[in-house]
Amino acid sequence: MLDIDGREVHLTNLDKIFWPDAGWRKADLISYYIGISPHILPHLRRRPLVMVRYPDGISGESWFHKDLPAGAPEWVQTIRVWHHAEKKEVHYVVCDDLPTLTWLAQMGTIEIHTWTACIDDVKKADLAVFDIDPQTGEFADAVDGARMVCDLLDELDLKYYLKTTGKRGIHVFSPLRPDGPHSEVRDVVHEAVLLLERRHPDTFALSYVKSKRQGRLFIDYAQNSFGKTNITPYSLRATRDATVSTPIRRSELTRTDPHAFRLDNIGRRLSRTGDLWEHLGRSGEVTIAEARRRLRALPD
């Protein structure tokens, strides 16, 4: 049992192997999230989250867990959200503190995915997300696409923050004033992606049908819809080498290797760079209506 800030977290199966190739155990998972807590907690606070649980490690069964698990400590904060499409209420976990983060790891949560809205009003998004997924599987293709997305956001005079997804893609997040519903943010990102497709038809393809993309980049604008989640900065991924979704500078787009950021070395990077997303939460000054106006004023 671990006492953290007066709250007891019961730890079990600490020697269970979670990453067979590296030999990392559940204890390493828990230690990682405790150590990274000063950097990840600011990006978790006040946001509903979804756990991706691997109670037997990356080789075992896994699932997305939205609802508060049975037997959770009474001090775990939640928010109740009604989903009209699913016709049910979900009790989402909200991780504002180290005891909750440690409990998530104890539950075998390797990946943590968060909403693009805060619990102050979950119906209003404060982030626009460009999820750049290379159909080729080549990270270099995602890098090229991210550069073009950044160029467009520069034209729009919108702030943005980059990170690796921890797998083969790149996320570009643009903070907004939370004054519009998710559907409006989704539609503006959709318009932006259509503009990118018109400008760079050999690079981008909007179709959800993979056979129609012909190796071009796909940006899933629907990730901005109500209830959708994205991997949190500094979350681990259930990959063979325990990669981490890592904030990067734009200048790093020329040489970044997503597999270079891992459970065992991300601390060294943070000691050099600090949290490159530190100011994300204070930089959403533009309304979604203004972002749309600027976008529609751009030429093809």
Total-model pTM:
0.96
State the virtual CA torsion across 261, 277, 63, 166 in degrees, nearest 10. -30
What confidence tens digit (pLDDT) does each residue in 188-198 have?
A: 999 999 999 99
When divided into structural domains, the chain yields a total of: 2
Same domain? For 177 and 129 the reply is yes
Domain housing 259: 123-300
Same domain? For 72 and 137 the reply is no
Same domain? For 255 and 279 the reply is yes
What confidence tens digit (pLDDT) does each residue in 23-33 have?
A: 999 999 999 99
Give the end of a domain, one of 80, 114, 148: 114
Residue 80 carries which DSSP code? E
Same domain? For 238 and 90 the reply is no
Same domain? For 163 and 272 the reply is yes
What confidence tens digit (pLDDT) does each residue in 147-157 have?
A: 999 999 999 99
Residue with tokens 């104890």: 106
CATH number of the domain residue 35 falls in: 3.90.920.10
pLDDT value, residue 211: 65
Give the end of a domain, one of 114, 137, 161: 114
* Residues of the chain above pLDDT 90, percent: 85
Q: What mean pLDDT, rounded, does the chain reach?
A: 94
Same domain? For 109 and 154 the reply is no
CB 218 within 8 A of CB 205: yes
Q: 101-105, 203-207, 237-241, 280-284: which range is least confident on average?
A: 203-207
From the list 70, 60, 72, the residue with the least C-alpha distance to 9 is: 72
